[in-house]
Amino acid sequence: MSEGLAGKRAFVTGASRGIGRGIALALARAGADVAVCYRREADAAGAVVAEIEALGRRACAVGADVRDVDAVRSAVTGAVDALGGVEVVVANAGVPTRFQPLHEVDPGYWQRVIDIDLTGVFHTLHATLPILREQRSGVILTISSVAADFCGGNGGPYNAAKCAVNGLTITVARENAPLGIRANVIAPGFIATDMGQGLIDQHGDAILGSIPLGRAGTPDEIGELAVYLASEAGSWITGQVFRIDGGALGASARGAF
Protein backbone atom coordinates (compact mmCIF):
# COMPACT_ATOMS: atom_id res chain seq x y z
CA MET A 1 0.00 0.00 0.00
CA SER A 2 1.49 3.38 -1.08
CA GLU A 3 1.54 5.96 1.69
CA GLY A 4 2.21 8.99 -0.49
CA LEU A 5 -0.26 11.06 1.51
CA ALA A 6 1.10 10.28 4.98
CA GLY A 7 0.66 13.29 7.26
CA LYS A 8 -1.85 15.00 4.95
CA ARG A 9 -5.37 15.98 6.06
CA ALA A 10 -8.23 15.85 3.55
CA PHE A 11 -11.71 17.43 3.50
CA VAL A 12 -14.09 15.57 1.16
CA THR A 13 -17.68 16.67 0.49
CA GLY A 14 -20.33 14.09 -0.37
CA ALA A 15 -18.17 11.46 1.32
CA SER A 16 -21.00 9.52 2.97
CA ARG A 17 -21.64 7.51 -0.19
CA GLY A 18 -20.60 6.80 -3.74
CA ILE A 19 -17.62 8.50 -5.37
CA GLY A 20 -16.88 10.71 -2.35
CA ARG A 21 -16.71 7.66 -0.09
CA GLY A 22 -14.41 5.94 -2.61
CA ILE A 23 -12.13 8.98 -2.68
CA ALA A 24 -12.11 9.31 1.12
CA LEU A 25 -11.13 5.66 1.56
CA ALA A 26 -8.47 5.79 -1.17
CA LEU A 27 -6.92 8.92 0.39
CA ALA A 28 -6.90 7.14 3.76
CA ARG A 29 -5.28 4.02 2.27
CA ALA A 30 -2.59 6.36 0.92
CA GLY A 31 -1.94 7.68 4.43
CA ALA A 32 -4.22 10.73 4.79
CA ASP A 33 -6.50 11.59 7.70
CA VAL A 34 -9.93 12.49 6.35
CA ALA A 35 -12.90 14.70 7.25
CA VAL A 36 -16.01 13.02 5.85
CA CYS A 37 -18.48 15.75 4.91
CA TYR A 38 -22.10 14.68 4.43
CA ARG A 39 -25.52 16.28 4.07
CA ARG A 40 -28.21 13.96 5.51
CA GLU A 41 -26.66 10.52 5.86
CA ALA A 42 -24.98 10.90 9.26
CA ASP A 43 -25.01 7.15 9.92
CA ALA A 44 -23.42 6.42 6.54
CA ALA A 45 -20.80 9.12 7.19
CA GLY A 46 -20.12 7.54 10.60
CA ALA A 47 -19.59 4.18 8.91
CA VAL A 48 -17.03 5.72 6.54
CA VAL A 49 -15.25 7.28 9.52
CA ALA A 50 -15.08 3.82 11.13
CA GLU A 51 -13.67 2.31 7.92
CA ILE A 52 -10.97 5.00 7.79
CA GLU A 53 -10.10 4.53 11.47
CA ALA A 54 -9.83 0.78 10.84
CA LEU A 55 -7.08 1.65 8.34
CA GLY A 56 -5.19 3.33 11.19
CA ARG A 57 -5.98 6.91 10.14
CA ARG A 58 -7.83 9.67 11.94
CA ALA A 59 -11.23 10.71 10.66
CA CYS A 60 -14.25 12.81 11.59
CA ALA A 61 -17.73 13.34 10.20
CA VAL A 62 -18.87 16.92 9.57
CA GLY A 63 -22.33 17.81 8.28
CA ALA A 64 -23.11 20.60 5.82
CA ASP A 65 -25.49 21.26 2.97
CA VAL A 66 -23.10 22.71 0.38
CA ARG A 67 -25.79 25.24 -0.61
CA ASP A 68 -25.24 26.97 2.75
CA VAL A 69 -21.90 28.79 2.82
CA ASP A 70 -21.98 29.27 6.60
CA ALA A 71 -22.62 25.56 7.12
CA VAL A 72 -19.69 24.72 4.84
CA ARG A 73 -17.44 27.13 6.78
CA SER A 74 -18.51 25.47 10.06
CA ALA A 75 -17.79 22.03 8.61
CA VAL A 76 -14.31 23.14 7.52
CA THR A 77 -13.68 24.61 10.98
CA GLY A 78 -14.86 21.34 12.54
CA ALA A 79 -12.53 19.37 10.28
CA VAL A 80 -9.53 21.58 11.08
CA ASP A 81 -10.29 21.39 14.82
CA ALA A 82 -10.53 17.59 14.68
CA LEU A 83 -7.60 16.86 12.38
CA GLY A 84 -5.35 19.87 12.98
CA GLY A 85 -5.38 21.25 9.44
CA VAL A 86 -6.26 20.60 5.82
CA GLU A 87 -4.03 20.11 2.78
CA VAL A 88 -6.34 18.27 0.35
CA VAL A 89 -9.80 19.57 -0.56
CA VAL A 90 -12.21 17.48 -2.64
CA ALA A 91 -15.41 19.22 -3.82
CA ASN A 92 -17.42 16.18 -4.82
CA ALA A 93 -21.00 16.59 -3.50
CA GLY A 94 -23.55 16.72 -6.28
CA VAL A 95 -26.96 15.71 -7.56
CA PRO A 96 -28.17 14.56 -10.98
CA THR A 97 -30.80 16.38 -13.01
CA ARG A 98 -34.23 15.41 -14.26
CA PHE A 99 -34.09 14.29 -17.92
CA GLN A 100 -35.97 17.04 -19.79
CA PRO A 101 -35.37 19.66 -22.51
CA LEU A 102 -34.36 23.08 -21.32
CA HIS A 103 -37.64 24.77 -22.24
CA GLU A 104 -39.42 22.45 -19.81
CA VAL A 105 -37.00 23.03 -16.90
CA ASP A 106 -38.72 24.81 -14.03
CA PRO A 107 -36.57 27.83 -13.02
CA GLY A 108 -36.71 26.78 -9.37
CA TYR A 109 -35.44 23.32 -10.30
CA TRP A 110 -32.67 24.85 -12.44
CA GLN A 111 -31.62 26.93 -9.43
CA ARG A 112 -31.54 23.88 -7.14
CA VAL A 113 -29.16 21.94 -9.42
CA ILE A 114 -26.93 24.98 -9.95
CA ASP A 115 -26.92 25.72 -6.20
CA ILE A 116 -25.68 22.22 -5.34
CA ASP A 117 -23.54 21.25 -8.34
CA LEU A 118 -21.89 24.62 -8.99
CA THR A 119 -22.38 27.02 -6.08
CA GLY A 120 -21.67 24.18 -3.66
CA VAL A 121 -18.23 23.83 -5.25
CA PHE A 122 -17.71 27.61 -4.97
CA HIS A 123 -18.68 27.49 -1.27
CA THR A 124 -16.27 24.61 -0.62
CA LEU A 125 -13.38 26.38 -2.32
CA HIS A 126 -14.26 29.76 -0.77
CA ALA A 127 -14.20 28.20 2.72
CA THR A 128 -10.90 26.37 2.24
CA LEU A 129 -8.77 28.56 -0.05
CA PRO A 130 -7.87 31.06 2.69
CA ILE A 131 -6.36 28.17 4.69
CA LEU A 132 -4.41 26.81 1.72
CA ARG A 133 -3.25 30.30 0.73
CA GLU A 134 -2.11 31.08 4.28
CA GLN A 135 0.01 27.93 4.38
CA ARG A 136 1.09 28.41 0.74
CA SER A 137 0.36 24.79 -0.16
CA GLY A 138 -2.47 22.43 -0.85
CA VAL A 139 -4.31 20.46 -3.48
CA ILE A 140 -7.87 20.99 -4.73
CA LEU A 141 -9.83 18.40 -6.66
CA THR A 142 -13.29 19.11 -8.04
CA ILE A 143 -15.54 16.42 -9.45
CA SER A 144 -17.36 17.34 -12.63
CA SER A 145 -18.39 14.83 -15.30
CA VAL A 146 -17.83 13.85 -18.91
CA ALA A 147 -21.35 15.26 -19.24
CA ALA A 148 -19.50 18.58 -19.59
CA ASP A 149 -18.00 17.22 -22.83
CA PHE A 150 -20.99 15.22 -24.12
CA CYS A 151 -23.50 18.01 -23.27
CA GLY A 152 -26.24 15.51 -24.13
CA GLY A 153 -29.75 16.77 -24.74
CA ASN A 154 -32.13 16.85 -21.78
CA GLY A 155 -29.39 17.42 -19.23
CA GLY A 156 -29.22 21.23 -19.30
CA PRO A 157 -28.84 22.19 -15.62
CA TYR A 158 -26.33 19.40 -14.88
CA ASN A 159 -24.32 19.95 -18.07
CA ALA A 160 -24.15 23.68 -17.44
CA ALA A 161 -23.06 23.21 -13.83
CA LYS A 162 -20.35 20.70 -14.72
CA CYS A 163 -18.98 22.87 -17.59
CA ALA A 164 -18.80 25.73 -15.09
CA VAL A 165 -17.01 23.56 -12.50
CA ASN A 166 -14.34 22.83 -15.12
CA GLY A 167 -13.88 26.54 -15.84
CA LEU A 168 -13.95 27.53 -12.19
CA THR A 169 -11.30 24.96 -11.28
CA ILE A 170 -8.95 26.06 -14.07
CA THR A 171 -9.42 29.67 -12.93
CA VAL A 172 -8.59 28.74 -9.33
CA ALA A 173 -5.55 26.79 -10.55
CA ARG A 174 -4.24 29.92 -12.29
CA GLU A 175 -4.98 32.22 -9.37
CA ASN A 176 -3.21 30.01 -6.85
CA ALA A 177 -0.34 28.40 -8.77
CA PRO A 178 2.08 31.17 -7.63
CA LEU A 179 1.44 30.02 -4.05
CA GLY A 180 2.16 26.37 -4.90
CA ILE A 181 -1.50 25.34 -4.67
CA ARG A 182 -2.68 22.94 -7.38
CA ALA A 183 -6.26 22.49 -8.61
CA ASN A 184 -7.52 19.84 -11.03
CA VAL A 185 -10.83 18.37 -12.16
CA ILE A 186 -11.75 14.71 -12.18
CA ALA A 187 -14.50 14.17 -14.76
CA PRO A 188 -15.95 10.67 -14.41
CA GLY A 189 -18.06 8.76 -16.87
CA PHE A 190 -20.66 6.31 -15.64
CA ILE A 191 -19.86 5.12 -12.10
CA ALA A 192 -21.73 2.48 -10.10
CA THR A 193 -23.23 4.56 -7.28
CA ASP A 194 -26.72 5.55 -6.14
CA MET A 195 -26.62 8.30 -8.77
CA GLY A 196 -25.47 5.83 -11.42
CA GLN A 197 -28.22 3.39 -10.48
CA GLY A 198 -30.73 6.23 -10.77
CA LEU A 199 -29.58 6.80 -14.37
CA ILE A 200 -30.05 3.12 -15.20
CA ASP A 201 -33.49 3.13 -13.57
CA GLN A 202 -34.43 6.13 -15.72
CA HIS A 203 -32.82 5.20 -19.04
CA GLY A 204 -32.14 1.46 -18.92
CA ASP A 205 -28.71 -0.14 -19.10
CA ALA A 206 -27.92 0.81 -22.74
CA ILE A 207 -25.50 3.33 -21.24
CA LEU A 208 -23.24 0.41 -20.22
CA GLY A 209 -23.08 -0.75 -23.86
CA SER A 210 -21.60 2.62 -24.84
CA ILE A 211 -18.54 2.07 -22.63
CA PRO A 212 -15.68 0.47 -24.61
CA LEU A 213 -14.25 -1.19 -21.49
CA GLY A 214 -17.64 -2.85 -21.10
CA ARG A 215 -18.61 -1.93 -17.55
CA ALA A 216 -19.31 0.90 -15.16
CA GLY A 217 -16.41 2.44 -13.29
CA THR A 218 -16.10 2.11 -9.53
CA PRO A 219 -15.67 4.72 -6.79
CA ASP A 220 -12.35 3.03 -5.95
CA GLU A 221 -11.06 3.72 -9.46
CA ILE A 222 -11.92 7.41 -9.07
CA GLY A 223 -10.24 7.31 -5.66
CA GLU A 224 -6.98 6.00 -7.13
CA LEU A 225 -6.86 8.92 -9.60
CA ALA A 226 -7.56 11.32 -6.72
CA VAL A 227 -4.62 9.86 -4.78
CA TYR A 228 -2.30 10.32 -7.76
CA LEU A 229 -3.34 13.93 -8.27
CA ALA A 230 -3.20 14.76 -4.55
CA SER A 231 0.24 13.25 -3.99
CA GLU A 232 3.74 14.33 -5.01
CA ALA A 233 3.36 12.10 -8.08
CA GLY A 234 1.11 14.85 -9.45
CA SER A 235 3.34 17.74 -8.37
CA TRP A 236 3.56 19.39 -11.83
CA ILE A 237 -0.11 18.94 -12.73
CA THR A 238 -2.54 21.82 -12.32
CA GLY A 239 -5.44 23.34 -14.22
CA GLN A 240 -6.30 20.07 -15.96
CA VAL A 241 -9.49 18.10 -16.53
CA PHE A 242 -8.99 14.33 -16.16
CA ARG A 243 -11.65 12.27 -17.93
CA ILE A 244 -12.00 8.76 -16.51
CA ASP A 245 -14.77 6.99 -18.34
CA GLY A 246 -13.82 3.53 -19.63
CA GLY A 247 -13.20 5.08 -23.06
CA ALA A 248 -16.75 6.37 -23.59
CA LEU A 249 -15.89 9.92 -24.64
CA GLY A 250 -13.14 8.87 -27.05
CA ALA A 251 -15.43 6.27 -28.62
CA SER A 252 -18.17 8.86 -28.98
CA ALA A 253 -15.82 11.36 -30.66
CA ARG A 254 -14.22 8.87 -33.07
CA GLY A 255 -16.97 6.36 -33.72
CA ALA A 256 -16.98 2.85 -32.35
CA PHE A 257 -13.60 1.38 -31.33
Is residue 128 a contact residue for ligand NAP (CB under 6 A)?
A: no
Strand-by-strand arrangement of the 181-188 sheet: 59-63, 33-38, 9-12, 88-91, 138-143, 181-188, 241-244
Q: Catalytic residue at 38?
A: no
Q: Which of 38, 109, 158, 228 is catalytic?
A: 158
- Smallest CA-to-CA distance from 10 within 1, 30, 19, 2 is with 30
CB distance 39 to 65 below 8 Å: yes
Q: Given the complex with ligand NAP, which of 99 and 177 has the nearer CB atom?
A: 99
Is residue 8 a contact residue for ligand NAP (CB under 6 A)?
A: no
CB distance 75 to 62 below 8 Å: yes
Dist. CA 87–CA 182, nearest whole Å? 11
Is residue 156 a contact residue for ligand NAP (CB under 6 A)?
A: no
Q: Which one of 66, 114, 139, 164 is in contact with ligand NAP (CB under 6 A)?
A: 66
How many residues bind to ligand NAP according to rule CB under 6 A? 30
Q: What angle do CA 255, 221, 60 make, to 5 degrees?
A: 145
- Which 3 state secondary structure label does DSSP give 76? helix
Q: Which one of 53, 65, 220, 224 is in contact with ligand NAP (CB under 6 A)?
A: 65
Stretch that binds ligand NAP, among 8-16, 80-88, 100-108, 229-237 (CB under 6 A): 8-16
Q: Which one of 67, 73, 98, 126 is in contact with ligand NAP (CB under 6 A)?
A: 67
Dist. CA 182–CA 232, nearest whole Å? 11
The residues that bridge with 11 in the sheet, in sequence order, are 35, 89
Stretch that binds ligand NAP, among 65-73, 124-132, 168-176, 231-239 (CB under 6 A): 65-73
Stretch that binds ligand NAP, among 25-33, 54-62, 124-132, 184-192 (CB under 6 A): 184-192
Beta carbon of residue 195, minimum distance to ligand NAP (angstroms, whole number): 3
Residues contacting 86, CB < 8 A, separation 6+: 9, 10, 11, 35, 76, 79, 80, 128, 131, 132, 138
Dihedral through CA 55, CA 57, CA 62, CA 65, nearest 10? -60
- CA 146 distance to own-chain centroid: 13
For residues 193 to 232, the per-residue mask of contacts with ligand NAP, x marking binding by CB under 6 A and - elsewhere, is: xxxx------------------------------------
Is residue 191 a contact residue for ligand NAP (CB under 6 A)?
A: yes
Is residue 78 a contact residue for ligand NAP (CB under 6 A)?
A: no
Is residue 41 a contact residue for ligand NAP (CB under 6 A)?
A: yes
Residues found near ligand NAP in the complex (CB under 6 A):
13-14, 16-20, 38-41, 44, 65-67, 92-95, 116, 120, 143, 145, 188, 190-191, 193-196
